[in-house]
């Protein structure tokens, strides 16, 4: 079985109507997605039978709720290796105030990363503060210059002060940057 995890941010450009039961359906193979409708996003996990996907590579899938139309297409990777040559971080900011180089403890860290593999997901790369991984909460689509916005949750009990931030995937680590936790 292949497990596909789809995260859909609800915003001006990407709204999926919510059915009162919160149930969703995936459109790759048999319906049967399990969905959790959170405050700002929907997370769906759908197991894909091996016979439904005939070749390795990227596949387009769409998600819909019981009483809604289909959402935007997402690409999932099937049997694709994670390949990374170099990782670059353009900026690290507070995801609420957009203050550069500093983030509130218990808040949201936003960064822009170039060099992540085409099939990147929260299971095959990490955002690190002092070599400790952060929980990745959102991965954006690549911008024209190749950077992706990545958001993560900052632990509320992280010691205030200067820390070392880096991104790591497939054994490749970005240049370290300083980030202040306030």
> Residues of the chain with pLDDT > 70: what percent?
69
Q: DSSP labels for the chain? A: -EEEEEEEE-SSS---PPPTT--EEESSSSS--EEEE-SSEEEEEEEE-GGG--SSEEEEE-EEETTS-----EEEEES-----S--EEEEEEETTT--BTEE-TTSEEEEEEE---TT--TTS-EEEETTEEPEEEEEPPPPTTSEEEEEEEPPTTSPSEEEEEEEEETTEEPPPEEEEE-
Amino acid 77: pLDDT: 75
pLDDT band at residue 130 using 50, 70 and 90 as cut-offs: very high
Amino acid 20: pLDDT: 35
The listed range with the strongest mean pLDDT (3-7, 28-32, 97-101) is 97-101
Overall fold of domain 2-78? Immunoglobulin-like (2.60.40)
So what's the architecture of 88-181 in CATH? Sandwich (2.60)
Rounded to two decimals, what is the model's pTM? 0.68
Q: Note whether 2-78 and 88-181 share their fold.
A: yes
Is the pLDDT reported for residue 14 higher than 50? Answer: no
Domain ranges of the chain: 2-78, 88-181
């Amino acid at each position: 079985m292949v497990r596909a995890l789809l995260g859909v941010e609800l915003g001006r450009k990407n709204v999926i109507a919510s059915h009162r039961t919160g149930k969703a359906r995936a459109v790759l193979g048999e319906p049967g997605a399990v969905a959790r409708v959170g405050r700002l996003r929907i997370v769906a996990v759908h197991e894909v039978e091996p016979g439904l996907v005939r070749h390795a590579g990227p596949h387009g899938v769409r998600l819909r709720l019981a009483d809604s139309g289909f959402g935007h297409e997402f690409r999932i990777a099937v049997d694709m290796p994670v390949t990374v040559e170099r990782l670059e971080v353009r900026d690290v900011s507070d995801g609420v105030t957009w203050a550069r180089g500093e983030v509130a403890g218990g808040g949201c860290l936003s960064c822009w990363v170039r060099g992540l593999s085409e099939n990147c997901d929260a299971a095959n790369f990490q955002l690190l503060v002092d070599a400790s991984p952060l929980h990745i909460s959102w991965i954006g689509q690549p911008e024209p210059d190749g950077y992706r916005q990545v958001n993560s949750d900052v632990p509320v009990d992280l010691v205030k002060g200067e820390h070392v931030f880096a991104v790591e995937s497939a054994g490749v680590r970005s240049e370290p940057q300083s980030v202040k936790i306030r």
